[in-house]
Structure 1
Amino acid sequence: MSVLHKIGKTVEERVRRDRAQQSEEELLAQIEALGWQPKDFRALFDRRGFNVIAEVKLASPSRGDIAPQLKPLEVAKAYLDNGAAALSILTEPLFFKGDIAYLKAIRAAHPDAYLLQKDFVVDPYQLYQAKAAGADAILIIVALLGEEGSAEILRTARKLGLTALVEVHNEEEMAIATRIGADLVGVNNRNLKDLTISLDVSLQLRPLAPKNARLIGESGIETHEDMHRLHAAGFHGFLVGTSLMRTGKPGEALARLIQHAH
């Protein structure tokens, strides 16, 4: 079993526990009481440019602890103060040391920020949780869900007013993204089998993307040269996390990255 599917199994268990404590109906009532209306996350990338989705990421399976000393709320403020177009908030607890409480706290502190909940969605229930926590967007990982599952989550996201970032790794997954009608596609440059990273993945998959989709480059983006390379190929945004977090001063690192890109 791949790391991705191991994570998926633990998420299924988490969803079972959460659903036992709070039903979809209760979450919907909570959403209605909050009155939260997600913003159009995709519209951020209608403008071409060096639009960075800066990621709040404390750990990962491939890197272990990345920045355990940093406080997510402080990182979020530093990112927003230094030019982030949007934030990606890890909420997966076991492998990434994330927490949905981080998303709630960041939303409360920054009501106008564009927030992507970064988790491993295996059940529509998680989208109700995401909206209740203040997310504008959620992640669909085609490699985890397959075509039918990805289509179901995309339909649910749109019903709830959430933007779906549909993540692909190869030609087969890009074809699925096209068939299900994805309009915001993230190309992950990480090979899920051996965890190697190459920006060539983005360049190879770019011509196969859905015609009107906005494209986000993910994984392995560390320098302004990396962003220029993908930008020239037609990418609209860049999800950057590990390279910023591991500096210990992610806001300053983001400012340098964006400054050198222009």
Structure 2
Amino acid sequence: MLNNILSTKKDEISRLTMPETADVPHYSLQHALAEKSGTIQVIAEVKKASPSKGLIRSPFHPVQIAKSYQSGGAAALSVLTDETYFQGSRDYLTDVKKEVGLPVLRKDFIIEEVQVEESSRIGADALLLIAAALEPEKLHYLYQSAVQRGLEVLVEFHSVRELEEVLRLFEPSLIGINNRDLDTFKTSLQVTHNLSGHVPPQSLIVSESGIHTPADIDYVQNEGAKAVLVGESLMRQENVEQALKKLKGA
């Protein structure tokens, strides 16, 4: 599936038109996730669909959802902008940025520098780089390009091998451990356990996917995660504000 997505993304990039720069405030994702409250922080995801599960939420009102997440105690937001496989839109991210006072992560398949510039223009505070989608040298180059534009970067890993290859080049400030197998789409929090011991102590760990209950949060927090990224389990709830509060144990 990942190869199909990347092939589609290359075609989309060849037809990319650059938007005007959005006039929005900016916030630090790392600062939001590093709050010393003693509780794990939540990046709540605005997500309409996925290639493995199809349509997740309908009707879908991204700004309304984002506001509910903010009221529910999210530290940050993640907005899907991939159109073909996730039914996202870069306009969703800009609209959310104009209405919600939280840092926003652009969730997409970033593989070329033009997408980094696009991310900056649409108002993203941070972007995602996926180790499985990029050679380590290319990932490092895009990371530096993002930082030079004032963007923060969450670098996502699925295996110890991916992590070690990137760490030979540099140490990302924000490291995402994705608990979802990209081939089977099954999730296991054991992935966070397997990778967390290999993460440099100064890097902040975000455990992604497979987070459904307060017990799941306790598990990954005990494994060293300072934050979790949660999408589908919240998106399927009618009241996402209450669902987020319940997940946080409130």
Pick the TM interval, shorter chain.
Answer: over 0.9
2:52 and 2:177 map into 1 onto residues whose CA distance is 18
Q: 1:92-125, CA deviations, whole angstroms, 9 ceiling, x for partnerless residues?
A: 0011000000001011112x31100000001111
> What pairs with 1:12-91 in structure 2 (closer than 5 Å)?
12-18=10-16, 21-22=17-18, 30-31=20-21, 38-46=26-34, 47=36, 48-91=38-81
CA-based RMSD: 1.5
**Which of residues 211, 214, 219 is equivalent to 1:229?**
219
Q: Is the 8 A contact 2:110 2:129 kept in 1?
A: yes
Contact kept in structure 1, 2:43 and 2:227, CA below 8 Å:
yes
Which residue does the alignment assign to 1:252? 242
Residue type of the alignment partner of 1:121: I
Partner Cα separation in structure 1 for residue 196 and residue 166 of structure 2: 12
Matched, 1:184 2:182: no
In 2: Cα distance, 1:183 partner to 1:148 partner:
17
Q: CA deviation at 1:35?
A: 6.3
Cα shift at 1:70: 2.3
State TM-score, norm by structure 1: 0.90
Amino acid at match of 1:42: Q
**CA deviation map 1:37-79 (0-9, x unaligned):** 7432112222352200000011001111110312111100100
The 2-side partners of 1:142 and 1:214 are apart by 16
Out of 128, 135, 138, the position equivalent to 1:139 is 128
Residue 51 of structure 2 contacts residue 86 of structure 2 at CA under 8 Å; is this kept in 1?
Answer: yes
- Could you give the per-residue CA deviations for residues 129-187 of structure 1, whole angstroms, max 9, x where no partner exists? 11111111000000001212211110111111111000000011111332332110000
**Percent of pairs with identical residues:** 34
Residue from 192, 210, 217 that aligns with 1:220: 210
Instruction: Report how many aligned residue pairs link the two structures.
Output: 247
